[in-house]
Homo-oligomer: A and B are copies of this chain.
Amino acid sequence: MQTHTAKRVEITIEKIMQSRLTDALVGAGVHGYTILPVFGGSGRSGEWSRSGQISRAEGMVQVICIVREERLDALLTAAFKVVEKHIGIVNITDCEVLRAERF
């Protein structure tokens, strides 16, 4: 089937920052994203898990954006401003998409 190359950006960030991140994405012209719940994780700031978390404020989410390559830099710049001081991780993969008109 006909596919088109794109970038898959995966941003793991605190739930409390989610709307700030998606606002920034929309501000950078990125209107397509999917948000996954996260159960737990570990990083430089230590380990946490949804069941063991000391406060309901601590959860994280994963925001996945599929974007055309030419928009990647705008996306990363916008995202970086939000995540900069916060814990989390951002990774980018090459991908192909069906239905290019959709993104």
Give chain A's interface residues, CB within 8 Å of chain B: 1, 3, 6, 8, 10, 12, 22, 26, 31-44, 49, 60-62, 66, 73, 76-77, 80, 89-99, 102-103
Q: Smallest distance from the beta carbon of A21 to chain B beta carbons, Å?
A: 12
Are A42 and B22 touching (Cβ within 8 A)? Answer: yes
* Chain B nearest CB, measured from A48 CB (Å): 10
The copy count of this chain in the complex is 3
- Could you tell me the distance in whole angstroms from the C-beta of A68 to the nearest C-beta in chain B? 12
Contacting pair A49 B35 (CB below 8 A): yes
Q: Which of B1, B37, B77 contacts A73 (CB 8 A)?
A: B1
Complex Cα distance, B51 from A61, in Å, reads: 14
The 6 closest A-B pairs by CB, nearest first: A34-B41, A90-B98, A35-B39, A92-B96, A91-B95, A1-B76
